[in-house]
Structure 1
Amino acid sequence: MTYTPASMDALRQSGDELADATVATLFERGEMGKFNALMRYVSTAGAPLPDGLPDVAREYLEATAAPPAWVDWGEMEKARLFFIDNNVHISTALSFASMPGCYVIPHVARLLSATHSLKYPSKRMAETGQFTVYLMQPGAFEAGSRFIPAAQKVRLLHASIRHHLARDGHWDVEGLGTPICQEDMIGGQMLFSLLVLDSLHRLNIHMSVDGAEAYYYAWRVVGAMLGVDQEHAPRDLESARRFFDLYMTRHMGPSEEGAHLTRQLIDLYEEVVPGTFFDPVVSSLIRYLIGDTCADWLDVPRTAWDTVVKTVPALLGVLESIEDSSPLGAWALDRLGHLTTVLELSSLTRGRVMHYTIPEQLKKDYGVSTAVPRTRRWTPPAATVGSS
């Protein structure tokens, strides 16, 4: 697929027709409060929907209760094994590359500042981490799983933000396009898939071509379930690179909101890290993964650890070699990775299940592993011409 500035501009005018119509009807009928109250009881796939649920909401939930018909379940299983094998590294990339990557896009940072709590940034990180863990569970798309209801709620959350920002005049629709438009939704899919793979490669994590492609495929499925138009979404990593390079060069830059959100992110993880001696590692890791230019735009401080962090890929390469050559080493490292991810997520969620409530108004305060064999090591697709 060919992406051009004109085709990207067209994507800025589109939202998510199904979710947008559902939200608009709920607000028009004054049923959003009732919907939110009842949806707290909808947390597992296949469970009966609660009595009293507004008809339009029931229709939406029934229409979105299954994954796309085109899903290749063999690829999804490969993706799950890839996640198990690399869970701690994926969590690191999501926290220290994907989230700052969102903040380096000024209009996205502005939107996040308007719709997410700046005082409690752990909420967004906890929701992102929990969403990813739900996705990579063995029965993520079966009855009893938590992933499908989470995806349904996130899709409505995005529609509600579009509704509020456009209706209340808090968004320059003419200049910026539809809030959380198709271009930004596809861009977000790239930030949580391609940028994660790029970051793992930068950290010298051993990945097979099949594993990387399967991980990207899983996020294609996620994108479809979140309302991404599959006619325009990249279908493979090569086209993903073309889209992502153009998207970032079109939009990335410095902003006050981006710097503030990044400072909140750094403060959050400095609290998670025990003691204070290692606190600067957070900033140094962000700078290493997103590069000096983006880090400077986000006011990521330079620290004495910047040089030390550059040795991390060599250390991880040694550990990865042990994992490749020793079944016992692989088991030990996988268990360590699992425990680290669980500890991080429990710290962010405070042991709670995160609920995705649709805001009735925007407020400032809303705010032993059977791993895929690592043959044919994956390397990122080359940057496209004119993208640097």
Structure 2
Amino acid sequence: MTYSEAALDALRHAGDELADATVATLFERGETGLFNTLMRYVSTAGAPLPEGLPEVAREYLHATATPPTWVDWETMERARLFFIDNNVHISTALSFASMPACYVVPRVARLLSATHGLAYPARRMAETGQFTVYLMRPDAFEAGSRFIPAAQKVRLLHAAVRHHLVREDRWDVAADGTPICQEDMIGGQMFFSLLVLDSLHRLNIHMSVEGAEAYYYAWRVVGAMLGVDQDQVPGDLESARAFLDRYMLRSMGPSEEGAHLTRQLIDLYEDVVPGTFFDPIVSALIRHLVGDTCADWLQVPRTAWDTVVRAVPHLLGVLETIEDRAPLAGRALDRLGHLTTLFELSSLTRGRVMHYAIPEELRKDFGVSSAVPPTRRWTPPPPTVPATPTAP
């Protein structure tokens, strides 16, 4: 799959037709508050929808209640086992690479700065962490799971942000396209899949080709459920690299909003780390994973720990070797990773369940090891150099 400038421009002006129409109708009829109130009690798949739920919302929830028909469940199980085997590393990559990568796209940083509740980065990180934990549970797509309702609500939340920014004339559509457009949603899908794999590779985490491919595939399923047009999404890791390289070259750069959001993120994680001695490791890890150019754009401070962090992959490589060769040690490390992830999520949520709701206004403030043994080690697809566009 190739991505011309014209094709990417078209994606920049495309939203999510189903969710956008649902949200527009809810606002037009003044039913948004009612929807949010009733949907707080719908948190598991298969639960009966409450009486009085607006009909347009009921139709949307029925239409989005099941995963895509093309899902390969054996691959999804491999992805789940891959997550269990690497959950603490994946959480690290999401926190210190994927989130800052969002901030290095100026229009995305502006959008995040403008939307409800994102003056509180702990909430956004908690919602992301909770969403990922829901996804990787064995029953994620079965009756009783929390993942499907979360995905349905997040999709409507994105549509509501588009609705508000355009209606309130707070977004330059001519210059920046549709808010939370298909191009940026695909880019986000790459940040949470391919960029995570890149970060694990940079941390010297042992990954099989099969595990890496399954993890990427799982985020294609997630993207489909969040309204990302999978016909436009790279189907494999090699073409994903081509898309991500072109997307970043088109989109990344410095911005005041990106630097501000990054500072909030650093402050948040320095608060989570006990004491102050280890605080600089937060900045050092972000710089190590996103690279000096992006880190400088985001005004990530340089610290004496920058050199220390470079030794982390060697230590993790030793632990991964122990895990590969000693099943009992591997299970112990998996369990420790699980507990670490739960501790991090608990610290961010303060023990509360995060609820995803349609913002009614926008404010400026506001334990198992993989049964598939590693075969070939996964290495990132090489970077691509987009062809120079030819004149029409």
TM-score, normalised with respect to structure 1: 0.98
Alignment correspondent of 2:36: 36
Deviation at 1:116, TM superposition (A): 4.3
Say if 2:355 is the partner of 1:369.
no
1:76-95 alignment, distance < 5 Å? 76-95=76-95
Say if 2:329 is the partner of 1:329.
yes
**Aligned residue identity for 2:207:** M
Alignment correspondent of 1:18: 18
Question: Contact 1:113–1:261 (CA<8 Å) still a contact in 2?
Answer: yes
Alignment correspondent of 1:273: 273
Q: Whole-Å Cα distance in 2 between the matches of residues 106 and 300 of structure 1?
A: 16
**Aligned residue identity for 2:223:** G
Q: Whole-Å Cα distance in 1 between the matches of residues 178 and 308 of structure 2?
A: 43
Alignment correspondent of 1:220: 220
Deviations, residues 147-186 of structure 1 (Å, cap 9, x unaligned)? 0000000000000000001111000001111100100010
Alignment correspondent of 2:103: 103
Alignment correspondent of 2:341: 341
Q: Whole-Å Cα distance in 2 between the matches of residues 117 and 100 of structure 1?
A: 18
Q: Report runs of 4+ in structure 1 exceeding 6 Å deviation.
A: none
Deviation at 1:374, TM superposition (A): 1.3
Q: SS at 1:330's partner residue? A: helix
Say if 2:292 is the partner of 1:307.
no
Q: SS at 2:230's partner residue? A: coil
Question: Contact 2:116–2:359 (CA<8 Å) still a contact in 1?
Answer: no
Q: Whole-Å Cα distance in 2 between the matches of residues 128 and 175 of structure 1?
A: 29
Q: Whole-Å Cα distance in 2 between the matches of residues 315 and 246 of structure 1?
A: 33
**Aligned residue identity for 1:303:** T
Q: SS at 2:33's partner residue? A: helix
Alignment correspondent of 1:142: 142
Deviations, residues 37-81 of structure 1 (Å, cap 9, x unaligned)? 101011000000000000000000000000000000000000000
1:115-194 alignment, distance < 5 Å? 115-194=115-194
Deviation at 1:365, TM superposition (A): 2.9
Deviations, residues 2-40 of structure 1 (Å, cap 9, x unaligned)? 111111001011100000000000001010011111010
1:199-218 alignment, distance < 5 Å? 199-218=199-218
Question: Contact 1:118–1:264 (CA<8 Å) still a contact in 2?
Answer: no
**Aligned residue identity for 1:229:** D
Identity, % of aligned pairs? 80
Q: Whole-Å Cα distance in 2 between the matches of residues 287 and 239 of structure 1?
A: 26
Q: Which runs of 5+ in 1 are unaligned?
A: none
> How many residue pairs end up in the alignment?
386
Alignment correspondent of 1:229: 229
Q: Which runs of 5+ in 2 are unaligned?
A: 388-392
Deviation at 1:357, TM superposition (A): 1.1
Alignment correspondent of 1:384: 384
Deviations, residues 255-297 of structure 1 (Å, cap 9, x unaligned)? 0000000000000000000111000000000000000000000
**Aligned residue identity for 1:152:** Q
Question: Contact 2:116–2:361 (CA<8 Å) still a contact in 1?
Answer: no
Tell me which moved more, 72-81 or 119-128. 119-128
Tell me which moved more, 329-338 or 368-377. 368-377
Q: Whole-Å Cα distance in 1 between the matches of residues 56 and 118 of structure 2?
A: 32
Alignment correspondent of 1:320: 320
Deviation at 1:119, TM superposition (A): 3.9
Question: Contact 1:116–1:124 (CA<8 Å) still a contact in 2?
Answer: no
TM-score, normalised with respect to structure 2: 0.97
Question: Contact 1:76–1:218 (CA<8 Å) still a contact in 2?
Answer: yes
Q: SS at 1:231's partner residue? A: helix
1:243-282 alignment, distance < 5 Å? 243-282=243-282
Q: Whole-Å Cα distance in 2 between the matches of residues 50 and 386 of structure 1?
A: 51
